[in-house]
Amino acid sequence: MFPITGTPALLLAVVFGFAFGWLLHRGHVADYNTIVRQFLFKDFTVIKVMLTAIIVGGIGIFVLVHAGYAKFHVKPADLLAITLGAGLFGIGMVLYGYCPGTALAAIGAGSVHAFVGAFGMIAGGILYALTFDWVSQTILPVWAMGKVQLPQLLGVGAPLIFGALGLLVVAFFVMLERRSSDSGAP
């Protein structure tokens, strides 16, 4: 029955994309102010959404893969490219005020500057394709560790990692909520 392919999958792409955009907007992260305030440590909405998605999503995915209902889609750890790329991404995300996914939801919700920045993203995509030959020869092969996951790398089971990560994240959330109720800030 699964996975669904062909034309029905194209219809589902719109449905799943719609759900994603809806969740981003309802979670208040399709908002420039929320994202920039996160990086100024004045609002922790972004990190709350992301860590909850990672823990809830991750536990489910590992169970589903273990039960044979899903497959992993792990990206290769080309660590120089990822470090440089993520470094640039952080700078660009703060200047833009959105990441690519939240930008799309924000465009839908009426953000004109997100729309203008989307042309910048298209230009960035063109720039990358035009420099790809150089990047693929010079940067991608450096510290290329393959499609490695933390359980293999650390030699501990995924349940232990999620257990430890879950405890840390819950403790972090409790601290955030206590602090915000003490100060009366949102």
Partner 1 sequence: MSTHALHYAAPATATQINWSPYLAGAGIGILSWIVFVVVNNPIGVTTALSQISGGVASIVVGPDEVAANKYWAKNAFKLDYGTLFLAGTLLGGLGSALAAGTWQIEKVPEVWAERFGPSPARRYVAAFIGGIIAMYGARLANGCTSGNGISGGLQLALSGWVFLAVMFITGTITAFILFRPKTN
Chain positions 56 to 75 lying near partner 1, rule: CB under 8 A, are: 56-58, 60-62, 64, 69-75
For partner 1, the closer of residues 112 and 182 by Cβ is 112
Q: Look up residue 76 and give its amino acid.
A: P
Q: How far is the CB of 182 from partner 1 (least distance, A)?
A: 19
Q: Which of residues 149-178 bind partner 1 (CB under 8 A)?
A: 149-151, 153, 158, 161, 173
Taking each helix axis from N to C end, the angle separating 32-39 and 79-96, rounded to the nearest 10 degrees, works out to 120
State in angstroms the smallest separation of the CB of 98 from partner 1. Answer: 8
Cis peptide before 3 (omega within 30 of 0): yes
Alpha carbon distance 48, 114 (integer Å): 23
Judged by CB under 8 A, which of 87, 141, 159, 163 binds partner 1? 87
* 164 contacts 154 by C-beta, under 8 angstroms: no
Residues in CB range of 1: below 8 A, 6 or more apart: none
In the complex with partner 1, which residue's Cβ is closer, 87 or 141? 87
From CA 113, how far away is CA 67, in angstroms rounded?
45
CB of 109 or CB of 167, closer to partner 1: 109
Please report, as residue ranges, which positions from 100 to 139 form the binding site for partner 1 (by CB under 8 A).
Answer: 100-114, 116-130, 132-133, 135-136, 139
> By C-beta, is 61 or 183 nearer to partner 1?
61
Separation CA 41–CA 49 (nearest Å): 15
Residues numbered 3 to 22 that lie near partner 1 (CB under 8 A) are 3-5, 9-10, 12-22
The answer to whether 81 and 135 have CB atoms below 8 angstroms apart is yes
Shortest reach from residue 85's CB to partner 1, in Å: 3
Least spacing, CB of residue 144 vs partner 1, in Å: 11
Distance CA 186, CA 182 (A): 10
